[in-house]
Amino acid sequence: MQSPVIIKLGGGLITLKDQLCTPKMSIIRNLAQSIHHLVKMNKRVIIVHGAGSFGHLKAKSWKLHEGRTDEGLPIEDEFTSQVEAIKSVRQDMKNLNQLVTNEFNKLGMSTISHSPHTWAFETGRNFIGDLNRFNLEENSIHFTHGDVVDCKGTTEFGILSGDDICYRLAVELNASHMIFAMGGAPGVMTLPPSNPETKLIPLWTPNKIFQGQHQSDIDVTGGIYLKLNVAEKISQHVPMVWIIDGECPERIEEVVQNGDTYGTRIISESP
């Protein structure tokens, strides 16, 4: 079976992160077109997408990343319990997934979606879940995403990030490429993207020191820090690991076709 190209579409790329359940449709459409070119070249593609404003906002206010708790929950809200909030976030994530896959279907690509709460348990990259389901039906693009999953013990549930799913898919399915497409920056930057002095780091090796920006007021998962940590670990197994600007989706094609683009390549050892 062909080694897959795994593409993570960041939540901040495909949604407006601070406006509840607001997709960026034109960006999703452009991504679908670029990825279509790869599919027409007979590349096997697996797509993992983040949650953005379809997941993080409600998860944060209902503390879903902390597991079962009674403390500090909203008092006047559309939900009365964490259980109701979980149901709603899972549905919102299904809706986002549908919006994304529709754009691929419109271009004639067949897609299969795997909502993690139906097959995965526990959080972090050691989550439990059989990834063989992504090997079936080779002619379809398989999709999955970050989600609220069930956990054993007193936490009962938690947030499984799409980045951790990427790690497992890339390693267990022997990916040829792992491409993180983000919004708002051409790759990993020396300073937060809003700083005019910021510069792209074209080659990232482990333990580089940098000042990232993590919107911890919005994100319940790890933002750029989790991404870099996961990307470093993936680069020990996968030859081509990149963090690129998904608003220029032709860069995804360039990585796969030429092995190079404007973005940050992650390698496991210093050259």
Select the residue whose beta carbon is closest to ligand IP8 and give its number: 146
Q: Which is nearer to ligand IP8, 46 or 93 (CB)?
A: 93
b or e along 33-50 (b: 16 or more beta carbons within 10 Å of the residue's beta carbon)?
ebbbebbeeebbbbbbbb
79 token code pair: 């939900």
Residue 147 interacts with ligand IP8 (CB under 6 A)? Answer: yes
- Our CB check for ligand IP8 shows the closer of 4 and 55 to be 55
DSSP per residue over 47-71, as a string? EEE--GGGTHHHHHHTTGGG-S--T
For helices 82-106 and 25-40, give the axis angle rounded to 10 degrees. Answer: 50
Please state the closest distance from residue 139 (CB atom) to ligand IP8, in A. 26
The residues in 163-182 that bind ligand IP8, with binding defined as CB under 6 A, are 163
Closest CA to 91 of 162, 28, 21: 21
Which neighbouring-strand residues pair with 23? 15
Strands (E), 86-239: 111-114, 141-145, 147-150, 157-160, 177-182, 203-204
Nearer to ligand IP8, 36 or 224 (CB): 224
Nearer to ligand IP8, 32 or 182 (CB): 182
Using the rule CB under 6 A, is 246 a contact of ligand IP8?
A: no
53 binds ligand IP8 (CB under 6 A): no
Provide, rounded to whole angstroms, the least separation between the CB of residue 260 and ligand IP8: 26
Q: Which stretch binds ligand IP8 (CB under 6 A): 25-33, 35-43, 141-149, 240-248?
A: 141-149
Q: At closest approach, how far in Å is the CB of 99 from ligand IP8?
A: 15
| 77-116 footprint of ligand IP8 as x/- string (CB under 6 A) | ------------x---x-----------------------
263 binds ligand IP8 (CB under 6 A): no
Selected binder of ligand IP8 within 51, 86, 131, 141 (CB under 6 A): 51
Measuring CA to CA, how many Å separate 93 from each of 15, 61, 231, 253?
A: 12, 16, 24, 27
Task: Establish if 186 lies at the interface with ligand IP8 (CB under 6 A).
Answer: no
User: In angstroms, rounded to a whole number, what is the distance separating the alpha carbons of residues 19 and 177?
Assistant: 32
Q: What CA–CA distance (Å, rounded) separates 3 from 145?
A: 20
Note whether 7 binds ligand IP8 by CB under 6 A: no
The label of the residue with tokens 């092995």 reads 259
Shortest Cβ distance from residue 1 to ligand IP8 (Å)?
26
3-state SS, residue 202: coil
Which chain residues interact with ligand IP8 by CB under 6 A?
Answer: 11, 50-51, 55-56, 59, 89, 93, 146-148, 159, 161-163, 220-221
